Structure 1
Amino acid sequence: MTEKDFLPAPYQHFSDGGKVTWKAPSNIALVKYWGKLADQIPANPSISFTLDACATTTTVSYQKKESNTDGLSFDLLFEGKPKEDFKPKIETFFNRIVGYVPFLKEYDFTIETSNSFPHSSGIASSASGMAALSLCLMDIEKQLTPNMDDQFFKKKASFLARLGSGSACRSIEGDLIQWGEHSKIPNSSNFYGIKYPFEVNPVFKNYHDTILLVHKGQKQVSSTVGHDLMHGHPYAENRFQQAHENLHKLKSILAEGDLENFIKIVESEALTLHTMMMTSMPYFILMKPDTLEIINKIWEYRKESKVPICFTLDAGANVHVLYPESVKEKAIQFIQNELVVHCEKGHYICDRIGIGAKKIMDKK
């Protein structure tokens, strides 16, 4: 599908208003996306586990405008309070997508959003937040276009979410989502995420992700700036090729339940992501001393115990500790005994692979 496929036909009718609520999870990339082209097109393909507990719930209330104004009209509440500093990002997002959801100009909107994790926890909420908002908008469009099928609904929601935050396109469905064109992955697209189309061994179906909150709050460099620094990066082309190759290698690894090689790719991808940050110009380091302490302890524990526990990182200092259901008790014991001491105020979040976003029905 191309961008033109997401342009709507004239709406059949406009309702006077209503309210919709969706809950969308965050995700953690195994093969990382770093670097983008215009219109949120990824410079390389990626694949992620959809999470479960770390999620954003968004309610969009909408009312037909009383006057025929052509602009966008919305209020934003974050956890029950006005959040003016969030509004510019939403306005930019709406301006990007208004051609694909032109009903945005027909209504006054109130957006109420909250996270299941503290906003200052250092977990990026843009993926779950933009996914939840996009699903709400698609829910409204489906009411204006009742014959829309479920497959198109999800694809367009992913397409819209990407225009808000690239990785948000991987937060619509679960449990393993691939995004970005890849010559050996059928139906892969730069415009939206797809459910991973190949066989996946059951060992990867109940994976856990314990997120160690090493550093909370604002990062010194935003992801947007970091992505832009890949333009002209001396190692960019090799990195993009590496991502393609690692995705291809994962096909047999995921099918066979090959934990040893899964760990090698996932940890290498995490360290490569941060290597690209450290070798850009300007360069920067988002890992903290405690990040490195955790990594070294994981390596030592895995070598001694043979427990298939590994780490990955996002564009920050926090550590995602990944392990299969079969070693859950041992992994949690190790985390509590050895790793929590490196977390800010001892805070960590236990999460696991989820099935994707879901609509929250009004209880009234």
Structure 2
Amino acid sequence: MIENEFIPDLKLSSIPVGVVSWSAPSNIALVKYWGKKENQIPENQSISFTLDTCKTITKLYFSKRDTSDENYSFEILLDGENKPDFKPKINTFFNRIEAYLPFLKSYHFKIETSNTFPHSSGIASSASGMSALALCLMSVEKLMNPEMSQEYFNKKASFLARLGSGSASRSIEGDLIVWGKHNAIEGSSDLFGIKYPYEVHDNFKNYNDTILLVDKGEKQVSSTVGHNLMHSHPFAKTRFKQAEENITKLKAILKSGDLEAFIALIESEALTLHAMMMTSMPYFILMKPNTLEIINKIWSFRKETGLHISFTLDAGANVHVLYPENETEEIYNFIKTELVAYCQNGHYICDQIGFGAQKL
């Protein structure tokens, strides 16, 4: 089994105390992952742009415990405040990864984390948060095993991050990441994300993502609940097949530079994701009226100008406005004058394609 290669095959040296820190980006899926099997295995493949500005910064302090027991010892702070309500999720994560990081119960951990964007508002804070924590834990293992290669480090970090949040597997590297075994993508795996290994046209380099914060509040339905609703969804099998076919189509689009085909595919993917939510049982709608207003404005502006502005959505109300760098001036002016009015308190984030996590 491939998982076994992530279990340390040598005795790790013991480090008494230390601190490591990483920033890890969020990501925005172009072909969406929605639905998962046991052990955080995706029902369908996905591909994402890694973001740059939207990220989680995590500092991990670790100290050897005098005696280890059956419980993990850790505390977690978000923006300097204790977050005991985060502890069950971290405890579940540690349970899932202990076989691969056998030192977890031997240390006390202090996890200090902060986001550059609103938490739980559909900008994949779990992706950046869990990838940042996984990278910190991998840095601890690397201190114990300095011979570890960078390739193995990244692959295992993605593998571990996936066990905390599926989309976190796509937040280790950049700029395009594929997660899920796909016959047309060499090296792809359900267990971890990989850098997209094929030619990408200049049209898709330095792409911009302006995130319009329509609703900065907590999501009505957690992603975990949404994913689980795909188990009994009447359209699930058709959706999974559609995603697989769209990855194949996107591979050709990324090579050719066909912006019109790119726009049609990613907007269809965004609306399909929300269609799955609206047709599950129970059903739910995460888009807000202003989400639809923004989408219609984008469609009208694109038709009038011929500019390559497009949108995608995550599992929330916020809108990711995507556009090539060489059209920034006109499109950004349109965003400021026509779209920002639909944002909560006029708030939005200017972001662009990023190239992965950074050790701090």
- The TM-score bracket by the shorter chain reads over 0.9
Q: Deviations over 1:256-309 (max 9, x none)?
A: 111000000000000000000011111111001100000001000000100000
Shift of 1:70: 3.5
Q: Which moved more, 1:75-84 or 1:157-166?
A: 75-84
Partner of 1:51: 51
The answer to whether the 8 Å contact 1:259/1:308 transfers is yes
Q: AA paired with 1:5? A: E
1:187 aligned to 2:149? no
CA distance in 2, matches of 1:124, 1:195: 19
Q: Deviations over 1:215-259 (max 9, x none)?
A: 111111111000000002111011000001000001111011110
Q: AA paired with 1:262? A: F
Partner of 2:86: 86
Q: AA paired with 1:84? A: P
The answer to whether the 8 Å contact 1:122/1:213 transfers is no
Partner of 2:314: 314
Shift of 1:69: 2.4
Aligned CA-pair RMSD: 1.0
1:123 aligned to 2:126? no
CA distance in 2, matches of 1:52, 1:89: 25
User: For 1:88-107, what aligned pairs fall within 5 Å after superposition?
Assistant: 88-107=88-107
Structure 1 unaligned blocks of 5 or more: none
Structure 1 residue ranges (4+ consecutive) displaced by more than 3 angstroms after TM superposition: none
Shift of 1:81: 1.2
Shift of 1:120: 6.1
Partner of 1:215: 215
CA distance in 1, matches of 2:125, 2:230: 23
1:230 aligned to 2:236? no
Helix, strand or coil at the partner of 2:338: helix
Corresponding pairs, count: 360
Q: 1:12 to 1:231 in 2, by over 3 A?
A: closer
Q: 1:249 to 1:190 in 2, by over 3 A?
A: same
CA distance in 1, matches of 2:55, 2:126: 10
Partner of 1:8: 8
Shift of 1:88: 0.9
User: For 1:334-353, what aligned pairs fall within 5 Å after superposition?
Assistant: 334-353=334-353
User: For 1:1-364, what aligned pairs fall within 5 Å after superposition?
Assistant: 2-119=2-119, 121-360=121-360
CA distance in 1, matches of 2:244, 2:122: 28
TM-score by length of 2: 0.98
CA distance in 2, matches of 1:138, 1:229: 33
The answer to whether the 8 Å contact 1:122/1:217 transfers is no
CA distance in 2, matches of 1:75, 1:12: 24
CA distance in 2, matches of 1:346, 1:143: 45
Shift of 1:121: 5.0
The answer to whether the 8 Å contact 2:206/2:353 transfers is yes
The answer to whether the 8 Å contact 2:118/2:216 transfers is no
Aligned residues with identical type, % of pairs: 66
